[in-house]
Amino acid sequence: MRSGGDNRGRLLLISLIVTSLFLITLDLRGVQVITGLRNGSQSALSPVQSVAATVFRPVGNFFSDVTHLGRTRGEINKLKAANEKLRQALINRKNADAELTQLKSVLDLAGTAKYKVVSAKVISLGSTSSFTQTITIDAGTNDGVRQNMTVITGLGLVGVVKISYPSSALVQLTTDPAFRVGARVAGSQQIGILSGQGTRKAVLQLLDNQTTLKVGDVILARGSQNNRPFVPGVPIGEVTTVDNAAGAVTQTADVKLYVNFAALSVVSVVIGAPKADPRDALVPKAPVPTPVPTVTVYAQPSESPTP
């Protein structure tokens, strides 16, 4: 029995080998039977392949999209970080440009008046129990800054040093309601007292009524004994309204301060005043209007035709 089974197995194997050789021979000779069988098998498998592609394509696309999404998010985050870095650099550049402009302006004013100054950055705005409007600067006794020294910008008077520390100082602003400074009118040299009002508008009270104030008059610091707390000649502001009440012993006027206290970033402390009073040398010069060229067109008479 076992021998018979082995013989059938051998016959089956031999038959398969012979059939395979036969089919290979036909295929090499280009017989269309093999091509038909191949095409038939391909046709039979095509629907299966199509279904498999339809089923598994979304899965493949899903994993591809997930991978692509991860890369996209990473790129977006990198772009956001780069954009924020550029934005911060632009802000820093604008701040630096503004500080440079203010520094150049105050050095120009100090050079004209021959003030010896120490420049400083404004590091904070605030108030104390004694003063309601102050700034803190990053220069102090180590830099030669002392109490009762004049503080200026390129536009004019900022205030006066009230407390000086080794590396910083507290400055009372001209806008402080407790601030007082001896002032004079450029040109007429009338003298008076200017008082802070908490805003960029101050009040000037003249000590006499001999000459009439007028809108547009420039107010300068009169200066103090030994130049402390105020050096002479510093611009303060411009008269905007005048109160000349009949029978009044003195005149009063509203003065718009030149300095924009909301935009202070760089100031200078006057640590040395000139020997001579600069008088009206620091009066702001009115801007020169730019001439606008005009073109006049003249009509030329046309020649009439000869009859």
Give the model confidence (pLDDT) of 139-190 as tens digits.
999 999 999 999 999 999 999 999 999 999 999 999 999 999 999 999 989 9
170: Cα separation from own chain's centroid: 26
Contact call for residues 236 and 221 (beta carbons, < 8 A):
yes
- d(CA 300, CA 83) in angstroms, rounded, equals 62
What is the pLDDT at residue 138? 96
pLDDT band at 234 (very low <50, low <70, confident <90, very high): very high
The predicted model gives 108-119 an average pLDDT of 93
Q: Reply yes or no on whether the pLDDT at 307 is more than 60.
A: no
User: In this predicted model, which residue has the larger pLDDT, 272 or 39?
Assistant: 272
- d(CA 67, CA 252) in angstroms, rounded, equals 77
What is the pLDDT at residue 45? 47
pLDDT band at 245 (very low <50, low <70, confident <90, very high): low
Contact call for residues 150 and 231 (beta carbons, < 8 A):
yes
Q: Which of 122-126, 158-162, 303-307 has the lowest mean pLDDT?
A: 303-307
- Please tell me whether residue 264 adopts helix, strand or coil conformation: coil
The predicted model gives 28-44 an average pLDDT of 54
pTM of the model: 0.65
Q: Reply yes or no on whether the pLDDT at 258 is more than 90.
A: yes
Q: Reply yes or no on whether the pLDDT at 227 is more than 50.
A: yes
- Please tell me whether residue 290 adopts helix, strand or coil conformation: coil
Tokens of 147: 């109490």
Q: Reply yes or no on whether the pLDDT at 32 is more than 90.
A: no
User: In this predicted model, which residue has the larger pLDDT, 26 or 198?
Assistant: 198
Residue ranges of domains in the chain: 31-281
Contact call for residues 152 and 109 (beta carbons, < 8 A):
yes
Q: Reply yes or no on whether the pLDDT at 71 is more than 50.
A: yes
Q: Which of 159, 94, 75 is nearest to 122 (CA)?
A: 159
What is the pLDDT at residue 42? 53
Tokens of 285: 């010069």
- What 8-state DSSP symbol labels residue 262? G
Residues 6+ apart with CB under 8 A from 229: 148, 149, 150, 160, 161
Q: Reply yes or no on whether the pLDDT at 247 is more than 70.
A: no
Tokens of 255: 């003065």
Q: Reply yes or no on whether the pLDDT at 59 is more than 60.
A: no
Tokens of 67: 């991978």
Beta-carbon neighbour count of residue 105 at 10 Å? 15
